[in-house]
Amino acid sequence: GLELTGYLEFFDNKRIQVLGNTEFSYLGRYGPEAQKMVIDSIFSFGPPAVIICRDIEPSNAILESAKLHKVSIFSTPQSTSDLTASLVQYLNKELAPRITRHGVLVEVYGEGCLLTGDSGVGKSETAIELIKRGHRLVADDAVEIRRTAQTTLYGQSPENIRHFIELRGIGIINARKLFGMGAIKLQEKIDMVINLEQWDSAKVYDRMGLDNEYMKILGVEVPTLTIPVKPG
């Protein structure tokens, strides 16, 4: 609402503008001409949209200025605080940077663990054993990862393969139908990466956990643990 006073020094024209009781009460202090000048000064920057809360009827000055500068006007019965909270949450999710990674995402004791490694190394088999022990599957084979905050990553499964796990030699199983709703989860925060790799006798592995290892995903460094595996 500070822009209504004429202070536009740090005005971000890429943001959706929200007008509520406070803003309309302030605008009501101006006459029609002065009100139009204030609105024009804001709309001339071309904000993506203006949302009017509590179903308040927009003045002619707002409608004329919106038409002149091609600014979309929306109305909602919600209060300013309710709309802002829900809108920020929705936009943070939908507009977050995202990638799809090959791997398996499981929730283990409340922590999101992303299992990575070459195909056939045993990621899906590991996930099945974890589910049997009461942990939960989020995604198998393809994990959609979103960065919802500066250091926060969330993963989920693509809708067309949600709840399914492919096991070599067995086929594709539906974890929800086989183990119940308690065995699956729609999304989970990624807290660590567990990288499964074929045992290499020539390689020296850190068995004490003294060396810190990280994997960078969407600019976020995630703690990583490499576990060597072999058949048997």
Quick check: helix, strand or coil at residue 212? Answer: coil
Asked if 102 is an active-site residue, the reply is: yes
DSSP state letters, 49-95: -EEE-TTPPPPHHHHHHHHHHT--EEE-SS-HHHHHHHHHHHHHHHT
Q: Is 227 left (phi over 0), alpha (psi -120 to 50) or beta?
A: beta
Alpha carbon distance 28, 23 (integer Å):
9
Of 15, 67, 93, 102, catalytic: 102
Q: Is 40 helix (H, G, I), strand (E, B) or coil?
A: helix
Options 14, 133, 207, 216, the catalytic residue = 207
Report the candidate in 110, 197, 128 with the shortest Cα–Cα distance to residue 165: 128
Assess whether 69 carries a catalytic annotation: no
State the chain's maximal CA–CA distance in angstroms. Answer: 83
Which listed residue (36, 101, 123, 136) is catalytic?
A: 123
Instruction: Judge whether 198 and 231 are in contact, CB under 8 Å.
Output: no
Catalytic residue status for 54: no
Half-sphere exposure of 132 (CA within 13 A, CB side): 6
The 3-state DSSP class for residue 33 equals helix
Catalytic residue among 69, 141, 176, 191: 141
* Coil/strand/helix, residue 132: helix
Is 141 labeled as catalytic in the residue annotation? Answer: yes
Active site residues: 102, 123, 141, 207
